[in-house]
Chain A
Amino acid sequence: MIGPRPFALVLIEMALLVLAGPLVTGIIQKIKARLQCRQGAGVLQPYRDLAKLVRKGTVQADTASGFFRSIPVLVLAATVTAGALVPVVRLGPPSFPLGDAVMLLGLLALARFLTAVGALDAGGAFGGMGASREMTVAPLVEPVMMMVVFSTALAAGTTELGALAAHRGTSWIFSWHAADFLGFAAMLVLLPAETGRIPVDNPDTHLELTMLHEGMLIEHSGPGLGCMLLASHTRQIVSLALVSALFFPVGPVSATGATGLLLGAGTFAVKVLVLATFLALVESSYAKLRLFRVPQYLAVGFVCALTALALRIL
C-alpha cells in the first residue's frame, strides 16, 4: 500500500528491522551449513550470542582512550537510524521528512568510520589492519552504491526512498528497463561487499589473511561487542531492505489497514529471504578474493552502474 507513513509506523518498521536482523544472519549461516553438508547451529543462534554477550563482563585494552567505550553505542545508533530511512511494510514517504538514500548511505558510512576509529584505538596490528582494509574497500563501494541509487532516482525524480519505491510502484520485473537490470546487477555485485561477506570479506574468521570487519571488532568484548554485532546484523538487513526498496518495492496494493501491513511485512520477509539465500549461495560457491583483486571485482559493479546511469540519461 502506498501513502505517507506516519511517524509511529516508521519507528515500528525500524524496530522490526533491528529485531529481524540477527535472524537473517542465522538463516544465512544455516543455509551455508546445509550447503556444506553440516547440521549447523539453529537459526536463532545469533540471538543467543547477543544475549550471552550482554550478560558478560568487559575486558578493555589498557591503552584505549575514553572514546573506546562509546564507539559501540554510536555505531549501533547510526546503523539503526539508517534503518529508519528505508520503507519496509509500506511504500511512500514518511509523513514527516527524515532522510533520503544519500542520508542512509551517509549514516552507514558514519557507522563504518566510527568502527574504524575504534579499531585503531586499542593500538594493535589486528585492529589497524582491519581498519585499513575496511577503509580501502569502503571508498570503492560507496560511489557505486550512490550511482545505483542515482540511476533509479533519475527515473523517479527523488532520492527519498519511500517516494522512490512508491514511484516504481508495484509493477514487477515486467516493466524494468535495461538500466534497471544493469543497476540490479551492480547491486548484486556490491551486496557481498556491503554486508562483509565472501568474496570480499569473510565473516567467519579473524585470520589476518581475510579479516576486514571482524578484525576491527577484535578488541571489543561483552556488551560492547554485542552492540557491534547487532549493528552489523542491522547493517546487513538494512542493505537488503535498500535493494528491495530500489528494485522490488512490491507489496499488495489493494489491502488496507492491518491486513495490508501484515501482507507488506510478509512480502518483505520473502524478498529478504530470497536475497539472503543469494548471499549464502555466493558465499558457499566462491572463494575469498585477494585484497588487491577486490577493486577489480568492484569494477564490474562500477561498469554496470555507470552503464545503467548512461542508459537512463542518453
Chain B
Amino acid sequence: MAALAGAVVGLALSIGVLLGGPGRVLTQPLPVLFPFARLSLAVDGLSAYFLLVISLVAIAAAIYGPAYLRTHSPEAGPARQAAQVAALNVFLGGMAFLCCAGDALTFLLCWEGMTLASYVLVVSDDEDGENARAGLLYMVMAHGGTALLLVAFLALTERAGAFDFAALRVAAAGLDPTTRTTLFFLALGGFATKAGVVPLHVWLPRAHPAAPSHVSALMSGVMLKVAIYGILRFGFDLLAPAAGPLPSSWGWTVLVLGTTSAVLGVLYALQQHDLKRLLAFHSVENIGIILIGVGLAMILWRQEGAGALATLALAAALLHTVNHAAFKGLLFLGAGSVLSRTHVRNMEELGGLARRMPWTAGLFLLGAISISALPPLNGFVSEWLTFQALLGSASRFHGPAGLAVVFSAAMLALTGGLAAACFVKAFGVTFLGRPRTAHAEHATEAPPSMIAGMMWLAALCVALGVAPGYAMRLLDAPTAGLLHGPAASAVVTAQGPLVLSTALSSTGTDATSISMTMVAALLIALAAMAWVLRRGWQHAPRRAAPTWTCGMSPTARFDYTATAFAKPLRLIFAALYRPRREVTRETAGTPYVVSRIHYAGEIVDLAETEIYHRVERHISALSQAIRARSTGRIHGYIGFVLGALFVALLLFGVARR
C-alpha cells in the first residue's frame, strides 16, 4: 500500500512538473545527515520524466504484488514476506529519490540503496542455490559499476568543493577535454553496467528472473532506465562543455554500444527457453534501442542546424523508455502469472495456457505485439521515431559516419524482425497448443488483482500506441530543458496531436507524417468488415476436430517445441551462438531398436566466454602465482606491505607536484 501511495504521489508530482513548463525546477533541501554536505532534491524536466516512468510501473507492481506473493509462495513465512515488502519499498524509494537527487551524495546513497534492496529481492525467493549465485554476480558487477561512478563523482566534487549539482556544473565547465572525456567514460562504464549494455550484461539475465515477478518487472522496466537517466544527466548536463558540441567520441561510443546491445540482446533472447530469462535478454535489446537514440542525440547536439534532429533523437529515446517500461512490465507480470499458477519457468513444460488463462494470454499477446515493434501499438512509435532520426542524420553526414548510421538503422530493423520471431516462439510455445505437463494442464486463471495490474500497463501500451501525440507534450520539458533546443512537441507533433511528423531532410521541406490513430481506426474498421466475411454467407456448420497429425492420435509431443522453433536461426547465426548438442541413444539389445534418445543442447554467450572466462582464467593464474610466493613468513609480508606503501607515497607525491 505504501508503494502504491508513493507511486501515485510521484505520478502527480511529475506530471505537475512536466506540464508546468520547461524552466520549472522544484527544489527541496533534505535534513542534514552529514556535517560535510547538504543534501537536497531538485526535480527538473528530466527528473520528473523518469519519476513518471517509475511511478507508472510502480502502480502496476503495487496492485499486482501482494496477490503474487500470496499465490506464488504461500509457504513463505510472514518474516520473509515482510522482508520482501520492505525491500520493495526501499527499492522504489531509492529509484524515485535518485532521479530527483540534487547533489552527488544523495545520488550515490540512493544508487546504493537501490542496488542493495534489489539484491535482497533477488535472493529472497531462494529455492535452490541458483538465486544466491545470481545475486552474488549481480552484487559484484553492480559494485564494480558503482566504483567507476564513485571515481567520476569524487573527481568532480573534489574540484567543486561541494556536492550539489549546480557546483559540479560550474566545476565541470573548467575541465580540459581529456579529463572531461575520461570522466564521461568512467560514468558511462558505471551506468552501462547497471543498464546491462553488452558486454556488461552478464548479470542481468541471471538476476532479473530470480526476483519475484513484479520486482523483475520493476528491475527490467525501471531500474535499467535509472541508468539511462544517469547517462543523460552526465552527458548533457553535468559534464557538458559550456558551449559547442559534445566530443564526438561520446555519441559514437554510445551509438555503437546501443546497436551491439540491441542485436546481440535479441539474438541471445531467441535461444532462451526460460520465459523470464528470455524477457531479461529483451531488456538488453531495448536498452540498446534507447541508447541508439541517446547516442544520436549526443552526436547531433549543438551541431549547426541539427537542433530539431537532436530533439527528435532524444524524444525517440525517451519515448522508448516509457514504452519499454510499459510493455516489459506487462510481459514480466504475465510471465509471473504463469509462474505463480504453474511453478514452471521453462516454456518447454508449458503450453495450452491460452485456454486455461485467457486474460493472461491476451494481455501477454498484447505486450508481445508491442515489444516486437508492430503497429498499431507503442513499440512501433518509438522505433519509427528512431528510424526517422537515423535517416535524418544519415542524410546530414557523409562518408563512413553516414554509412554507420544507416547500418545502425538496418540493424534496428533486424532487431525488430528477430524480436517478432522470438515472441511468436515465447507466446506460441507457452500459451498455445496442448499442455505438455501436468503443471500446465491444471493451471487456472490468475486472481483479479493480478489481472488488474496487467490491464493498467496494457492500457498504457494501447494509449501510447494509438495516440502518441499526447505523450509528446510530456517530453517537452525534458527535451527542451536538456538540449536547450526546440521542444519535442514542436518537432514531432507540429501538425496536431494525432499526427506524428518529422522533417527528414535538413532543409525541412519534405516532412514524413503518419497518424497512428488513423491507421488504428482503419485497422479496426477493416477487421469489422473481415469479421463479416469470416462468418460466411450462410451459417454453415462449424465443428471441432482433432489437429491433423498424419493419422496418428495427437498428443502434446506433436507440438513444436521452443528449441525446435528457434533451430533454423540457431544454425544461421551459429557463429555467434557456438551451439553444442549431445544426442545419446539408448538401444535395446540391437543397435536398430532405439528405446530412448536423450538430447542436450546449449549455446554460449559470446561475451561470457570471450571476455569473462578469459579474465577469470588470468585472475586465477595470477592468484596461483601469488600463492606460490606466499610462504607464510610474517616478515616477508611486512616487507611487501612496506614496499607497496612506499610506491603509493611516491606516486602520490609525483601527482601532487
Residue numbers of A with Cβ under 8 A of B are: 54-67, 69, 72-74, 76-78, 80-81, 84, 93, 96-100, 102-103, 106-107, 109-110, 112-113, 116-117, 120-129, 131-133, 135-136, 138-144, 146-147, 150, 153-154, 156-160, 163, 167, 218-219, 222-224, 226-227, 291-292, 295, 306, 309-310, 313-314
Contacts and interface: CB of A to CB of B under 8 A. Distances in A.
Contacts of B391: 150, 153-154, 159
Contacts of B524: 77
Contacts of A80: 526, 530
Contacts of A74: 527, 530
B473 interface: no
A61 B544 CA distance: 6
A153 B425 CA distance: 33
B475 to A, nearest CB: 20
Interface stretch (B17-25, B119-127, B480-488, B554-562): B554-562
Contact of A110 (B375, B507, B564, B569): B375
Given A97-B518, A132-B568, A223-B535, A65 B432 contact: yes
B509 A157 contact: yes
Contacts of B529: 77
A146 to B, nearest CB: 4
Interface in B488-510: 495, 499, 501, 504-505, 507, 509-510
Contact of B510 (A54, A163, A313): A163
A159 B536 contact: no
Given A74-B527, A98-B519, A126-B548, A136 B398 contact: no
Given A123-B556, A143-B413, A223-B535, A106 B355 contact: no
Interface in B505-561: 505, 507, 509-515, 518-519, 522-524, 526-527, 529-531, 533-538, 540-549, 554, 556, 558-560
Contact of A84 (B495, B522, B546, B565): B522
Given A124-B549, A163-B512, 20 more contacts: A57-B541, A58-B541, A61-B545, A63-B433, A67-B362, A76-B530, A97-B501, A98-B514, A98-B522, A99-B515, A102-B387, A110-B374, A113-B369, A117-B424, A120-B429, A124-B547, A124-B558, A147-B410, A157-B504, A292-B568
B533 A223 contact: yes
A132 B567 contact: yes
Nearest to A208: B550
Contacts of B417: 109, 138-143
Given A132-B560, A313-B399, A313-B403, A139 B421 contact: yes
B546 A150 contact: no
B329 interface: no
Contacts of A121: 354, 428, 432-433
A157 B531 CA distance: 39
Interface string B341-376: 000000000011011001001100100010011110
Interface centre among A55, A62, A63, A163 (most CB of B within 10 A): A63
Contacts of B507: 157
A124 B518 contact: no
B154 interface: no
Contacts of A158: 504-505, 510-512
B388 interface: yes
B647 to A, nearest CB: 52
Interface in B459-484: none
B372 A123 contact: no
B511 A66 contact: no
A310 B353 CA distance: 48
Contacts of B499: 97
B137 interface: no
B397 interface: yes
A147 B374 contact: no
A279 B618 CA distance: 58
Contacts of B526: 76-77, 80-81
B432 A123 contact: yes
A177 B511 CA distance: 23
Interface string B430-454: 0111100000000000000000000
Q: Which 10 A-B pairs have the closest CB atoms?
A: A128-B560, A123-B433, A139-B417, A120-B428, A157-B505, A97-B513, A65-B354, A57-B540, A135-B421, A77-B527
B265 to A, nearest CB: 14
B418 interface: yes
A246 B288 CA distance: 30
B365 A159 contact: no
Contacts of B411: 143
B427 interface: yes
Contact of A107 (B375, B413, B545, B547): B375
B421 A120 contact: no
Interface centre among A60, A122, A306 (most CB of B within 10 A): A122
B572 A136 contact: yes
B643 to A, nearest CB: 57
B560 A125 contact: yes
Contact size range, B: 35 or more
Nearest to B266: A139
Contacts of A113: 369, 372, 374, 420, 423-424
B434 A123 contact: yes
Interface centre among B387, B418, B432 (most CB of A within 10 A): B432
B414 interface: yes
Given A78-B523, A81-B526, A219-B547, A54 B556 contact: no
A313 B394 contact: yes
For the residues of B in contact with A, the DSSP-based class is: helix
Given A54-B537, A128-B560, A154-B395, A122 B523 contact: no
16 contacts: A61-B546, A63-B355, A65-B432, A73-B534, A77-B523, A77-B524, A100-B514, A103-B380, A103-B519, A117-B427, A122-B547, A124-B547, A128-B564, A136-B569, A136-B572, A222-B542
Contact of B565 (A59, A64, A132): A132
B289 to A, nearest CB: 14
Nearest to A107: B375
A17 B627 CA distance: 77
Contacts of B534: 69, 72-73, 223-224, 227
B269 interface: no
B567 A103 contact: no
A116 B514 contact: no
Interface in B547-605: 547-549, 554, 556, 558-560, 564-569, 571-572
Contacts of B424: 113, 116-117, 120, 131, 135
A157 B395 contact: yes
B251 interface: no
Contacts of A129: 560
A107 B372 CA distance: 12
Interface centre among B354, B375, B527 (most CB of A within 10 A): B375
B145 interface: no
A142 B548 contact: no
A226 B569 CA distance: 31
A205 to B, nearest CB: 15
B45 interface: no
Interface centre among A61, A128, A139 (most CB of B within 10 A): A139
Interface centre among A60, A143, A224 (most CB of B within 10 A): A143
B292 to A, nearest CB: 14
B536 A123 contact: no
A84 B501 CA distance: 18
Nearest to A154: B395
Interface centre among B380, B411, B512 (most CB of A within 10 A): B512
B513 to A, nearest CB: 3
Given A57-B542, A102-B387, A72 B530 contact: yes
B565 A125 contact: no
Contact of A159 (B374, B431, B509, B512): B512
Contacts of B535: 223
A160 B515 CA distance: 12
Interface centre among A76, A97, A219, A314 (most CB of B within 10 A): A97
